[in-house]
Amino acid sequence: MQHILLLLPSETYRAADFIQAAAQLGTRVTVGSDRRNPIANSDEAVIELPLKNPELAADAITEYASEAPLHAIVAVDDQGVITAALASDRLKLPYNSPQAVAATRNKADMRHRLAAYGVPQPAYAVLQAASDPHREAECLGYPVVVKPVSLSASQGVIRVDDPNELQPTLARVQKILHERGRPKHEALLLEQFVPGSEVAVEGLMRNGRLEVLAIFDKPDPLDGPFFEETLYVTPSRHTDAIQSEISSVTAQAAEALGLTEGAIHAELRTSSCQTSILEIAGRSIGGLCARALRFGLGVSLEQLILRHALNLPIHDLQRTDGASGVMMLPIPQAGRLVEVTGVDHAQAIEGITGVEITIAPGQLLIPLPEGNRYLGFIFARGHHPSQVEAALRAAHKQLRFSIETNCDKSATASSIT
């Protein structure tokens, strides 16, 4: 029986879906996680790994594999990809090279690599301690986007329109970095704001070749100042010509970084003049969004990823559903979540296939740019992307979020749609 190590950081949304996919394949699974009990109600074997220190985590995996040989290592989220690459390298298992993966985990390195290969991307400057941010921003031209090189989920990503806002924005992003335990003076990225509509590409690299599994449109405008993701709908409604440009720029980006095996997730902006890449990661789509994708005879994205990692046959990469989509529920305001009502009504809307609230009552809701958790997800299917989009918007309108905005005892709960 084949033996796979799944790297499941304790913060992941994806544990259940990957474990289920592995069970469907009948493969032996060991979970590697930063906690001893990362998955509630699960009897999977777990090895504890210091995922924040990939070298040490890779040492621990190599040692473990000397007693329990591994056939594949799959990191489900960003937090495990460098460890998976290092350990796979040492164990001679197919994976992206550690250098390629490291470049995806640092947005400044990623920009430099893409620039060296001439892949279309936003003009940028890396702000170091000695840089003059005003000068760099003037050279790029306002509006600019400030972003950390090491975070994700739009945390700390802020649009700046005016030179007077630049310094306070940089200070705000540095504070976010500090709160996330990053060095306070870690380099920041400054980019030209790229207008246009945004898309996400889900792909599978096989032997250095990109197979595009889905292009998601993001029909809500993402113009800032913060970039909260909401709707993802596939298939794309862009013309065939634009879709093929999106696939081609994604393939160029993967090649520039040296990503050769496994899932990739890319984000791009496209306008009438150009398609440019915002970022590419050596992992699949985050949150629970992969549930919007089914292939061949109902195979999940997770199962495709595991099949590829274990070198099992993959019969069909075509999506099954006509159109499909997901809405990441925006956090309507800061406070403590009291309850979410209307879920039954949302679920009853035609085309809706699921509603998952992923923040428990009593927990704090932190909006962007400081926060990085999703309030939940709504899923829909239909014949046409416009039906899916309409169903997701209608379902969202049914939800009421009761949030305690003042954390002292006199607080009142407010309802927000």
Ligand X SMILES: Nc1ncnc2c1ncn2[C@@H]1O[C@H](COP(=O)(O)OP(=O)(O)O)[C@@H](O)[C@H]1O
Residues near Mg ion (CB under 5 A)? 267
* 3 state DSSP class of 376: strand
Of 34, 165, 186, 198, which one interacts with ligand X (CB under 6 A)? 198
Nearest distance in Å: CB 229, Mg ion: 8
182 contact partners, CB below 8 Å, separation of at least 6: 148, 150, 151
Of 222, 264, 331, 380, which one interacts with ligand X (CB under 6 A)? 222
Kindly write out the interface string for residues 283-302 of this chain, putting x where it contacts ligand X by CB under 6 A and - elsewhere: --------------------
Of 100, 102, 110, 153, which one interacts with ligand X (CB under 6 A)? 153
Residue 228 within binding range of ligand X, rule CB under 6 A: no
Of 211, 279, 356, 404, which one interacts with ligand X (CB under 6 A)? 279
Nearest distance in Å: CB 200, ligand X: 8
DSSP H or E run through 209: strand 209-217
Residue 64 within binding range of ligand X, rule CB under 6 A: no
Q: Please identify, using beta-carbon distances, which residue of 267 and 321 lies nearer to Mg ion.
A: 267
Q: Please identify, using beta-carbon distances, which residue of 72 and 75 lies nearer to ligand X.
A: 75
Inter-residue contact 326 to 347 (CB < 8 Å): no
Nearest distance in Å: CB 110, ligand X: 9
Distances 230 to 91, 248, 258, 395, 398 between C-alpha atoms, Å: 39, 25, 30, 13, 16
Nearest distance in Å: CB 199, ligand X: 10
Residue 278 within binding range of ligand X, rule CB under 6 A: yes
383 contact partners, CB below 8 Å, separation of at least 6: 322, 323
Q: What's the CA dihedral at 275, 269, 127, 285 to 10 degrees?
A: -120
Question: Segment near ligand X (CB under 6 A), from 18-26, 150-158, 320-328, 335-343?
Answer: 150-158
Q: How many CB atoms lie within 10 A of CB 175?
A: 13
DSSP H or E run through 397: helix 385-398
Nearest distance in Å: CB 189, Mg ion: 12
352 binds, among ligand X, Mg ion, none (CB under 5 to 8 A by kind): none
CA angle 373, 378, 380 (to 5 degrees): 145
Q: How many CB atoms lie within 10 A of CB 11?
A: 12
